[in-house]
Amino acid sequence: MDKRIVLIGAGSASFGPATVKDISLSKVLPGSTIVLHDLNKEKLNMIYEIVKEENKIKNLGFNIEQTLDRASALKDADFVISSIEHGDRFFFRRQDNSIPRKHGTTELMAENGGPGGFFHSARQIPEILKIARDVKKYAPEAFFINFSNPMSRICLAIKRAVPDLRFVGLCHQIGFAHKHIPRMLDKSIQEKGIGSIEKIARLKKAEENIRMTTGGLNHFAFIFELTDLSTGRDLMPEFNAKCMDYFKDKWDRFEFASLTFEVYKRFGYFPYVGDNHLCEYIQFSKDYVKIEDILEWLDMMQSGGQIINKRVEKNFKRLQQGRYFKNSQLFREPSGERVIPIIEAIINDTNSYETAVNISNDKIIDNLPQDLVIECSAIVNKDGLYGVKLGKIPVNIAALLRIEASIQDVCVDAILKESKDLAIACLAMDVNCGSFEKAEKIFNEMVELQKEYLPNFK
């Protein structure tokens, strides 16, 4: 297979090696060219040298390239996978969190929603639109895959600013549901006395046999249908009967806990994204989620990233000293991300099923704005991704989602127009703020702190 796959942000020790690993495990992509692109020369070269050595050890036969020049990277590209962060991720995330709270808001996660989510959007969207426009210019037929957050707002900006670009946004949050639902619904996994290998085999079979149909917004979405593919049986009644008992001893403040189950109880459908993401979008989140837990989660994520970086740096040092491992350290198990299966489905025209992707709301959910990017299930073939149509979702859930959809609408408009008035209005109307006085104070302080990374609001 002679495909050109470009990784933008490949200097990231978390993104670059993991994505190359998934490409290497594909049975469809051998012989492809993998182009590593980043703006940080030192980090890019480190990942390039490690990937090149691993490619040699495993005799994989990929053509590995690196370049700092985006135009060169994108020329003749078939697929472009992007995962970038404009500025120091955790340094700014802590500002996004602390400044709005200092001025009296109920900001919690501050990644994709809340006043902090606005500034994350304002740093990210202009940079990612530069990439998207370059893809359209240098590789107009390429398929663009975005991993960066804030997912919904970035994808909505792409939809509006580069309307002819074929793209999808991918998030691994659905993995929480994939981890629990087969165990909850398939009795064979729960049998006593089966060995670990047999249990893994049964779990894999259960995962393949249970189809979830989802809908909503990224980090704010619900399971609307569960189907047993072997019989066609509707599994939602069984799920609803077992859910609360199953999770009694599995509550996790970083996954499914008080907020998730309150929303499930009140709205009738299960939000699969976890408390620490759901909390960004709902006014009553402050009654169920503690800021101390969110800050601890941020510390854990930062520490995890540092561990990965140190491991990659250590391996690079061994390579430089001629002491690199004889056996591959990289190409083992897949990462769990869905980007390569989607690429394979596009190439092979397989009409495969994806549980949760971010695409335009093309009559998928009737009672949400059509000028919106939603998270939903989709069919993938040579023409791209097509959402599984849900029609009208329950009115209470649609109303809840429309609040955030309206905020996203104003957020993206403010950033594209570089409008100070729209920016402050977006901050004020957010469910975590609700005050123009607070919004103006937050805007003024954040613009001063982050002005080198923000649009020229005027």
d(CA 48, CA 54): 10
Give the mean model confidence (pLDDT) for residues 238-252.
Answer: 96
Name which residue leads in pLDDT, 294 or 187. 294
CA distances 458 to 131, 154, 419, Å, are: 24, 21, 5
Question: Three-state DSSP class for 162?
Answer: coil
**H or E, element range at 326:** none
For residue 196, the model assigns a pLDDT of 81
DSSP H or E run through 138: helix 114-138
Phi, psi of 289 (to 5 degrees): -120, 130
Least confident window among 196-200, 258-262, 376-380: 196-200
Cβ pair 1, 347 in contact under 8 A: yes
d(CA 314, CA 318): 6
User: Integer distance in angstroms from the first to the last C-alpha of the chain?
Assistant: 49
The answer to whether the beta carbons of residues 142 and 118 sit under 8 Å apart is no
Assess contact for 268 and 394: CB atoms under 8 A: yes
For residue 85, name the pLDDT band (cuts at 50, 70, 90). Answer: very high
Distance CA 205, CA 199 (A): 10
**What pLDDT score was predicted for residue 327?**
86
Q: What is the pLDDT of residues 148-166, one digit of tens each?
A: 999 999 999 999 999 999 9
* pTM (whole model) above 0.85: yes
d(CA 397, CA 393): 7
CA atoms within 13 A on the CB side of 308: 16
Local structure of residue 390 (DSSP, 8 states): -
pLDDT value for 7: 98
Give the pLDDT score at 203.
85
pLDDT for 331: 62
At residue 186, does pLDDT exceed 90? no
Give the whole-angstrom CA distance, residue 208 versus residue 222. Answer: 20
Q: What is the residue whose two structure tokens read 């977006």?
A: 426
pLDDT exceeds 80 at position 105: yes
Q: By the 8 A CB rule, do 111 and 149 touch?
A: yes
Q: Is the pLDDT of residue 92 over 70?
A: yes
Q: How far is CA 440 from CA 368, 404, 418, 421, in A?
A: 30, 20, 16, 10
> How much helix, strand and coil, in percent to the nearest 5, is found in the chain?
50, 15, 35
Cβ proximity of 100 and 114 under 8 Å: yes
* Residue 167 three-state SS: strand
- CA–CA separation, 219 vs 63, rounded Å? 36
What DSSP assignment string belongs to 208-241? Answer: HHEEEEEEEETTEEEEEEEEETTTTEE-HHHHHH
Kindly report, residue by residue over 2-52, the tens digit of the pLDDT: 899 999 999 999 999 999 999 999 999 999 999 999 999 999 999 999 999
Check if the beta carbon of residue 143 is closer than 8 Å to that of residue 330: no
Mean pLDDT of all residues in 185-204: 83
- E strand or H helix that includes residue 370: none
Q: What is the pLDDT of residues 262-286, one digit of tens each?
A: 999 999 999 999 999 999 999 999 9
